[in-house]
Amino acid sequence: MLSDFFTRALVAGIGLALVAGPLGCFIVWRRMAYFGDTMAHSALLGVALSLLFEVNMTLGVFIVAAAVAGALLLLQRRNALSTDALLGILSHSTLAIGLVLVAFMSWVRIDLMGFLFGDILAVSVTDIVVIYLGGAVILAGLVWMWRPLLAATVNAELAEAEGMRPELTRALFMLLLALVIAIAMKIVGVLLITSLLIIPAATARRLAATPEQMGVLAAIAGAISVTGGLFGSLRFDTPSGPSIVVAALVLFLIVLVVPARLGRSKLQRSN
């Protein structure tokens, strides 16, 4: 079954979407889109360091993304700059340093476009195993910390008063985000990871009545986006990673428009 490259891409993409959707809900709720983008940009630095020190690329990206998250937490405590300024510095600096390091490593031939925009059609069976094992760890961690993370998202001070330790919860959430970025990089690339985290979650927000529903619907929206994007890529011969993001955007726009039209129709009938 997994001998066909398109089937492998579909299985890998759906596996990633099932993880990225629920995780992206907290990014939307906590208004952390720029933070997710910063960690995604740091992935290229992780790639460069992995090549330089000859270590596993997924592990290298995870370590660098986690280090960036830790650096942000430390810098925030110093209150020297606002959070958005710190994110801007970390985001562009890590991306630029990664590109410079790659340029210096003339003995290494890499496809920068593949790292920036992903190449889901090139995933192997080993990649699929990593995605599903890593995804299982991420989902287990998210389920375990769902209540304290949700409480800290609603009101951090109240969560702390109830002994939930919101700072620790936030740090653990950042580690989960670093892990999903590490396993997602090869599929949708550095520049598109944040889109897969945010757009399905934003789509689900229009339909869900509870946080749990939003998490499930975000996973479903992500899976639909991956499926639609891959078949659209096959049909129109377009890049697979960007096609997945375009499919996610189309689904979001449909959900954005359709409920409003239905609401107007009901209102007109009642009048």
- pLDDT (tens, 9 = 90+) of the chain, 271 residues, equals 566 889 999 999 999 999 999 999 999 998 888 888 898 889 999 999 998 998 998 899 999 999 999 998 888 888 777 888 888 999 999 989 998 998 888 887 777 787 888 889 889 999 999 999 999 999 999 999 999 999 999 888 888 888 888 889 989 999 999 999 998 887 888 878 889 999 999 999 989 999 999 999 999 999 999 999 999 999 999 999 899 999 999 999 999 887 655 544 443 454 4
pTM for the model: 0.89
Closest alpha carbon to 178 in 88, 78, 94, 84:
94
Q: Which domain holds residue 111?
A: 5-270
Say what the pLDDT of residue 140 is: 96
Token pair, residue 226, equals 């991956």
Say what the pLDDT of residue 259 is: 63
What is the Cα–Cα distance from 143 to 128, expressed in whole angstroms?
A: 22
Say what the pLDDT of residue 148 is: 92
Task: Provide the CB-side half-sphere exposure for 187 (13 A, CA).
Answer: 32
Token pair, residue 229, equals 């994007």
The CATH number for 81's domain is 1.10.3470.10
Which letter does DSSP use for residue 173 in this model? Answer: H
Say what the pLDDT of residue 164 is: 85
Say what the pLDDT of residue 189 is: 85
Contacts 24+ apart (CB under 8 A), 14-17: 14/223, 14/226, 14/227, 15/128, 15/131, 15/132, 15/135, 16/131, 16/135, 16/180, 16/183, 16/184, 16/187, 16/188, 16/196, 16/222, 16/226, 17/196, 17/200, 17/219, 17/222, 17/223, 17/225, 17/226
What is the Cα–Cα distance from 41 to 200, expressed in whole angstroms?
A: 20
Say what the pLDDT of residue 60 is: 93
Q: How many domains does the chain have?
A: 1
Q: For residues 62 and 46, is the Cβ–Cβ distance under 8 A?
A: yes
